Structure 1
């Protein structure tokens, strides 16, 4: 069922869409994410999209941000460095592509009230990972050999499911996985996570295109463009502000925002 807001004239929401996208993009840019975790509660709470519509819109926005973030980061992390780690990318993709397809199919079959609750619980989980899993490891992989490959496929599958259910890039889960499981440094892990996220999101997006809720993109083109423009501007600003706010202040504050958002989504009517 289409939400009332998605039928309303988009022009009335464009400034708010741009502004909201810019604020969320700045938050994401500060910690190396696309901000989708924060954008989803905004789509549901402020703009009153139904759960599945919000996930699809968020997925479209995540694709835009990830596709632009890779070249933005190339000056710091060259494409050659990313390409040199293709075995890690393929290892995670082996699980994440299947997880993305499964997660999208699951989301389209869930009742709206159940999907709201799944989203809320995952926002809580991401808040916990944000605080506990964002620090860099000691550079040593957690596993090696076959055990590492199996763990990479399993982790990729879980991340693919989460990515599709929330419409996010999955960076907040991918980055700790790359640091802890493969021993990647934090900057390289950020770019590797984008390389894994992009095809993973495309698979989930393709699966969602088979559902009637996918039409929300066509009904809200202007809104989507305004949100995309704001998100990209905000991500650029957030990246410029990186380093001005210490992680021991920023990360707990963002985690609190996610917990509040989870509470609101859980009780969404």
Structure 2
């Protein structure tokens, strides 16, 4: 069977939905959309090039985040999010700029360099996954002007990372909201979505100016089916939340990310 035939088979709607559902369930178990796990699958299993995978991941993440916010409204009402608008604006002041520049850098990087950048960030997120989820709400780390400046800087970094990976950035946003602003974890999850949505729209707009953006038009059915699977999986993962102890779940998911990072790094060498 030819490489083209293999690729067509791997991108079958059933594979797209199943892959999205499994990844969404993993994300739902830890309160995220699972985009960090989706990207390596788009590259390694569905055989998309690095930049095309990032753009598709961003599009799917937009759908997941847009649906996750109303899903959480029963637990964290929109009025509560509105009451915390200064925090959202503080982070957006940096993340919107970071998203624009991050997407711009991604479109200019050589393919093998982008693979390596993705691999390094995935490994870093694996570390944050274990350490960041140990954070509990308490007193803000900083207050006043220092908190304001730190929020902009943190938002800038998160915006860049989210644009480069095509993710919502919740894995970095939630620990930031808990530690820097002292937000309760459930509130932090909803606030992170409120920051993520406009941040992703900015990077998505920037990506739309690159010719690689045509990957969405060529794979529209694949994208929508995988997005649907991701939403279903995230919902299921949320229902299963608490069944698997964090002491087992988080290290296991971190190992998956590290293995993915190694595979993506090796892919960069194959493109040389």
Q: Normalising by the residue count of structure 1, what TM-score does the alignment of the two structures yield?
A: 0.96
Matched residue SS, 2:74? coil
1:137 positional shift: 2.7
Alignment partners' CA distance in 2, 1:207 and 1:191: 25
Q: Which residue of 1 aligns with 2:157?
A: 158
- CA contact 1:6–1:219 (8 Å) conserved in 2: no
Structure 2 runs not aligned, ≥5 long: none
- CA contact 1:99–1:158 (8 Å) conserved in 2: yes
Q: Which residue of 1 aligns with 2:117?
A: 118
Q: Which residue of 2 aligns with 1:204?
A: 203
Alignment partners' CA distance in 1, 2:139 and 2:247: 24
Question: Is 1:226 the counterpart of 2:225 in the alignment?
Answer: yes
Question: Is 1:98 the counterpart of 2:114 in the alignment?
Answer: no
Which region of structure 1 is more displaced relative to structure 2, 138-147 or 173-182? 138-147
- CA contact 1:124–1:262 (8 Å) conserved in 2: yes
- CA contact 1:160–1:170 (8 Å) conserved in 2: yes
Give the length in aligned residue pairs.
Answer: 266
- CA contact 1:171–1:194 (8 Å) conserved in 2: yes
1:10 positional shift: 7.6
Question: Is 1:24 the counterpart of 2:23 in the alignment?
Answer: yes
- CA contact 2:11–2:46 (8 Å) conserved in 1: no
Distance 1:172 1:15, change over 3 A: same
- CA contact 1:5–1:48 (8 Å) conserved in 2: no
What is the 5 A alignment of 1:43-82?
Answer: 43-82=42-81
- CA contact 1:37–1:166 (8 Å) conserved in 2: yes
- CA contact 1:44–1:265 (8 Å) conserved in 2: yes
1:139 positional shift: 1.2
Alignment partners' CA distance in 2, 1:35 and 1:105: 24
1:31 positional shift: 0.5
Matched residue SS, 2:243? coil
Q: Which residue of 2 aligns with 1:240?
A: 239
Q: Which residue of 2 aligns with 1:135?
A: 134
Return structure 1 stretches of 4+ with deviation > 2 angstroms: 4-12, 135-138
Q: Which residue of 2 aligns with 1:36?
A: 35
Alignment partners' CA distance in 1, 2:211 and 2:230: 26
1:14 positional shift: 1.1
Q: Which residue of 1 aligns with 2:261?
A: 262
Q: Which residue of 2 aligns with 1:181?
A: 180
- CA contact 2:76–2:186 (8 Å) conserved in 1: yes
1:53 positional shift: 0.1
Structure 1 runs not aligned, ≥5 long: none
Alignment partners' CA distance in 1, 2:39 and 2:91: 24
Provide the aligned C-alpha RMSD in A: 1.5
Alignment partners' CA distance in 1, 2:211 and 2:112: 18
1:138 positional shift: 4.4
Q: Normalising by the residue count of structure 2, what TM-score does the alignment of the two structures yield?
A: 0.95
Which region of structure 1 is more displaced relative to structure 2, 63-72 or 134-143? 134-143
Matched residue SS, 1:245? coil
- CA contact 1:7–1:219 (8 Å) conserved in 2: no
Which region of structure 1 is more displaced relative to structure 2, 156-165 or 138-147? 138-147
Q: Which residue of 2 aligns with 1:14?
A: 13
- CA contact 1:119–1:265 (8 Å) conserved in 2: yes
Alignment partners' CA distance in 2, 1:266 and 1:171: 23
1:226 positional shift: 1.2
